[in-house]
Chains A and B, each alone.
Chain A
């Protein structure tokens, strides 16, 4: 579904990521793991169109997305949930969700699906987004992304700022989404959590793909175990 070929991007002429090749197939959950500063966010921002690619291509279902503006990529079916969430703080939770469907009217069935996935959001739908807790904001960010009924959902560090128990719940929700057939691309520093939900994974180091393989292969890989899984 998503094909990334030789992608390079960065800031002020410096390449933060370079030569990235990756693929996400329909219905798959793919994890991008790596330490802080490895380039995960840069990669996601480039795919989402918030940062221009310096070279390489991004293709979704055979459609070239490279260097298209972010709003066009969003409308093409790629929903990106950044770690900072970028909600609309002075609007109600419900308005945030409604805007997720922009420019279409919100689909009632999708809204129901979001509320089923996160019953908490239903309880608080009249509350201003800026007053929600970190976990609720994360749920809202995912919910808003789902309202567009995306082909691909990209989540950058979905557990940022969440207590461990809430992070587990968040990943349980992602598991549920995957069962519904959603295609997921997840960047996560908490590698065990990421590999628990993913089918396949890529290890990003210093802006390049270091390793790739199925989740089981990566979990068994000694390098991964040493660097990310705390196995000595």
Chain B
């Protein structure tokens, strides 16, 4: 039981990062990035190519993260421009359609070029005992990375001028413009950050188990669920929801079966919408 919960937490921390990347972009203008899972996969494939080339794992990880951040910026500067010119429902719909298109293009090209593509980062060393449960070094590293990134994010949004500026755009875009903040620039930076987070998720999950080229839509689904449960634009909420859902996923996979887990997670999201539409920590 403890082992299952701990595995769930490791998984949940990655979910949390995914959720943050998704929820920030959503909070800044109502766009759900349906290509998010494919950006994770892209980072994984880039890193695996660099590793297959015989380069150091660290270099592969950095290049993977940079590639994902780059794709984020590219999306913002191209596909998202017409989206942000629209308002309200039109913006939401156009955003969904265009990012879904991007998901098919990125996912399609990657599966076509690298049909067996996968990233696995094997971290050698004896398991470490946590609460009497032997955890692999990979799981420990993945958790440490996720927690460190979470701490940096909370610091960034809570204590820096630019981080406050980002939150102000989420809360009232007109108000933000009136105090001298350029929402369009903020969005570009957040798309880059969101991409980088996707890259970090790719690296950290590949330390626990292989991440394959066709994982994109599953990852997007997880990110969507975490966004709904955590609350719009809330970094802390996304992490809380991620860990919670990771534990739920791990428990249901262990005691019921892998096939049912996504359904249970979607059920949790639906329940959240019914009971607390703002999400755990949303406004």
Contacts and interface: CB of A to CB of B under 8 A. Distances in A.
Q: Do A and B bind each other?
A: yes
A50 B180 contact: no
- In the complex, which of the residues B171, B177, B178, B283 has the most CB atoms of chain A within 10 Å of its own CB atom? B178
A20 B83 CA distance: 33
Contact of B165 (A49, A80, A90, A99): A99
B174 interface: yes
A88 B170 CA distance: 9
Interface residues of A, number: 28
A128 B165 CA distance: 16
A71 B171 contact: no
A148 B179 contact: yes
B258 interface: no
B177 A95 contact: no
A49 B238 CA distance: 35
A100 B171 contact: no
Interface residues of B, number: 19
Contact of B180 (A74, A82, A86): A74
Nearest to A101: B179
Interface in A82-116: 82, 85-91, 95, 98-100, 102-103, 105
B182 interface: yes
A33 interface: no
Given A90-B283, A98-B164, A103 B180 contact: yes
Contact of A71 (B167, B177, B283): B177
A98 B181 CA distance: 13
Contacts, number: 74
Contacts of A179: none
Contacts of A103: 161-162, 165, 180-181
A75 interface: yes
B168 interface: yes
A92 to B, nearest CB: 11
Contacts of A86: 172, 174-175, 178
B165 A87 contact: no
Interface in B165-200: 165, 167-168, 171-172, 174-183
Contacts of B178: 48, 50, 70, 74, 79-80, 82, 86, 145
B195 to A, nearest CB: 24
Nearest to B185: A71
Interface string B21-32: 000000000000
A181 interface: no
Interface of A: 48-50, 69-71, 74-75, 79-80, 82, 85-91, 95, 98-100, 102-103, 105, 144-145, 148
